Amino acid sequence: MTETAELGGRQHALATEIAGRRDDLVALTQDLIRIPTLNPPGDFYQDICEYLARRLEKSGFEVKLLRAVGTPGDSERHPRWNVICRREGGRSGPCVHFNSHIDVVSTGAGWTFDPFGGTVSDGKIYGRGACDMKGGLAASIVAAEAFVAKFPDYPGAIEISGTADEETGGYGGVAWLAEQGYFSPERVQHVIIPEPLNKDRICLGHRGVMWAQIKTHGRIAHGSMPFLGDCAVRHMGAVVSEMETSLFPALAKRNTVMPVVPDGARQSTMNINSLHGGQAEPDPDFTGFPSACVPDEARMVIDRRYLIEEKAEDVREEIISLLERVKAERKDFRYDFEELWQVSPTMTSVEAPVVKAVERGIRSALACEPVHVVSPGTYDQKHIDRIGRLKDCIAYGPGILDLAHQSDEYVGIDDMVDSAKVMAFALDDLLHGRA
Ligand SMILES: [Zn+2]
């Protein structure tokens, strides 16, 4: 056989194997949805990790349950459990790792299906986490199991992890595991995160983010004589006004090589997350009136998303110089700037081995051209990149990104089967080498 014929034969065998596991893939996804791993607070992590461990042990994976003791949110009542399953093929070679977060966000209102029922209707499985990202987790498991069944003595190793807390920053999940060395390039060489990015798209990374707090200060006085005080809210109004005139238009003009989706996010953006000034909001059952005071403090929290062309120092400096401009123009303007949290942008090279392997998988399994995208918001790749120092990492998985966190979230069964084929082809490519 020629190498191409051999590759075609392997892919055909994998595609047939996965098609035959369709019902199992549906049942697995339903089982995962029925474990209500809400975060916050971080419910049922141990249950889902034990479920995944039992499942993958049957295919010869060695499993490790790891609790991220002492990380944010970890407690006896809500322990931060993670599971890592690894199967060695018996010959030396690279390790391909599929990482999925096990947590889901709250259900919210407006459901017509039971959010934890895993109902199948019209070729879709409904439930909280169906697309983000239990469908992707299930697809990666079936892809790996099919691959192991067909080629049990492959070179290298396959890992599948289920990790905690992605929806709240990943500190009790991937960040903690990376600190323990589980995502070091010596141990793992290629990572696929099956987040719902659509089955023909490869997500190379994400924009950066900086959260910061701005405070303006004033002086309290009686509200009937505001000239005796100094209104912190009016100072903050000047900040907002300066943002409208100079900052927002400048951000909208900033171009990037990052293929961010959706289009509106293909630039720098900033959200004013919250703005508080003056008296605190009363309790809902308080029936009285406010007292007459001049606000002596106002506080704004900003959520600035930035591009690979920008540096964190410049993002910070741009806000501070805006505040300095306001200060130069306003009498008695005083402010504090405090950075709360920052994550650098990351974008894996389109030449990276995992990108190439998934590209070829998409072409073979779906007969279409893969599309490269970048996520507007961050996900666990940030920890794999920064703490793990592992660069060969992408997100690829079934499901429609826009459905994440919405009511009546679903994942399409055909899409899961298709992306499981792509993942199995990519495994074959990365472990057996390109034919
Ligand atoms: Zn997700």
- Domain assignments of the chain as residue spans, ordered by start: 3-206+345-432, 208-281+289-343
Q: How remote is the CA of residue 241 from the centroid of ligand 1, in Å?
A: 35
Helix pair 3-19, 22-33: axis angle to 10 deg: 60
| Contact (Cβ atoms closer than 8 angstroms) between residue 45 and residue 102 | yes
- How far does residue 174's CA lie from ligand 1's centre (Å)? 13
Ligand 1 centroid–CA 37 distance in Å is 13
Q: For the chain, what is the mean pLDDT?
A: 96
Which of 161, 151, 3, 7 shows the shortest CA–CA distance to 91? 151
Whole-model pTM: value is 0.91
The four Cα atoms 51, 162, 26, 395 give a dihedral, to 10 degrees, of -170
Ligand 1 centroid distance, CA of 41 (Å): 16
Residue 405 alpha carbon to ligand 1 centre in Å: 9
Using alpha carbons only, what angle is made at residue 181 by residues 72 and 48, rounded to the nearest 5 degrees? Answer: 55
Q: Give yes or no for residue 241 having a pLDDT over 90.
A: yes
Average pLDDT on 25-32 reads 98
Distance between CA atoms of 21 and 142, rounded to whole angstroms?
7
Among 74, 103, 165, 409, the active-site one is 103
Cα-to-centroid distance, 224 and ligand 1 (Å)? 51
Q: How far apart are the CA of 129 and the centre of ligand 1, in A? A: 8
In angstroms, the CA 378 to CA 348 distance is: 14
Q: What tokens does 38 get?
A: 């809400």
Give 218 Cα–ligand 1 centroid separation in angstroms. Answer: 42
- Give 68-93 pLDDT, tens digit per residue: 999 999 999 999 999 999 999 999 99
163 alpha carbon – ligand 1 mean position (Å): 11
Give the pLDDT confidence score for residue 404 in this predicted structure: 86
Sheet holding 297-306, edge to edge: 269-277, 297-306, 208-217, 334-343
Ligand 1 mean position, distance from CA 184 (Å) = 22
Q: Of how many residues is the chain composed?
A: 435
Phi, psi at residue 271, to the nearest 5°? Answer: -110, 135
Q: What distance in angstroms lies between residue 4's CA and the mean position of ligand 1's atoms?
A: 36
Question: 103 catalytic, yes or no?
Answer: yes
Give the β-pairing of 190-193 and 393-395. Answer: parallel
Task: Name the E strands within 124-185.
Answer: 124-126, 155-163
pLDDT of residue 252: 96
Question: What's the confidence (pLDDT) of residue 434?
Answer: 73
Instruction: Flag whether pLDDT at 227 surpasses 80.
Output: yes
Token reading at 284: 């809902």
Q: The tokens of 294 are what?
A: 């001049």
Q: With cut-offs at 50, 70 and 90, classify the pLDDT of residue 1.
A: low
Helix (H) or strand (E) holding 297: strand 297-306
Q: Once rounded to an integer, what is the mean pLDDT over residues 202-213?
A: 97
Residue 8: per-residue pLDDT: 86
Radius of gyration of the chain (CA): 25
Residue ranges with strand state E in 29-80: 62-67
Q: Cα of 395 to ligand 1 centre, how many Å?
A: 10
* pLDDT score recorded for residue 402: 85
Q: Are 107 and 169 in contact (CB under 8 A)?
A: no
336: CA distance to ligand 1 center in Å? 34
Judge whether residue 271 has pLDDT over 60: yes
Question: What is the bridge-based pairing of β-strands 208-217 and 297-306?
Answer: antiparallel
Q: Say whether domain 208-281+289-343 belongs to CATH 3.40.50.150.
A: no
| Integer angstrom CA distances of residue 328 from 8, 346, 411 | 69, 36, 54
3-state secondary structure 58-72: CCCCEEEEEECCCCC
Q: How far apart are the first and last CA of the chain?
A: 12
Could you give the C-alpha distances from 155 to 95, 191, 258, 354, in angstroms and in order? 9, 17, 34, 16
| Cβ 196 vs Cβ 400: under 8 Å | yes
Query: Is 166 considered catalytic here?
Result: yes
- 17, 74, 145, 166: the active-site residue: 166
Instruction: Report whether pLDDT(435) > 70.
Output: no
Give the CA angle between residues 347, 348, 354 to the nearest 5°: 150
CATH class given for the domain over 3-206+345-432: alpha beta
Instruction: Tell me which of 214 and 2 has the higher pLDDT.
Output: 214
* Mean local confidence (pLDDT), 160-188: 96
Contact between 83 and 97 under an 8 Å Cβ cutoff? The reply is no
Amino acid at site 98: F
pLDDT value at 225 more than 90: yes
Which token pair is 217?
């200060």
Fold equal for 3-206+345-432 and 208-281+289-343: no
The neighbour count for residue 85, using CB atoms within 10 Å, is 25
Q: Which of 46-55, 134-143, 348-357, 394-403 has the lowest mean pLDDT?
A: 394-403
The answer to whether 168 touches 40, Cβ cutoff 8 Å, is yes
Alpha-carbon span 219 to 230, nearest angstrom: 5
**What is d(CA 430, CA 189) in angstroms, rounded to the nearest whole number?**
10
Report the pLDDT value the prediction gives residue 418, as an integer from 0 to 100: 98
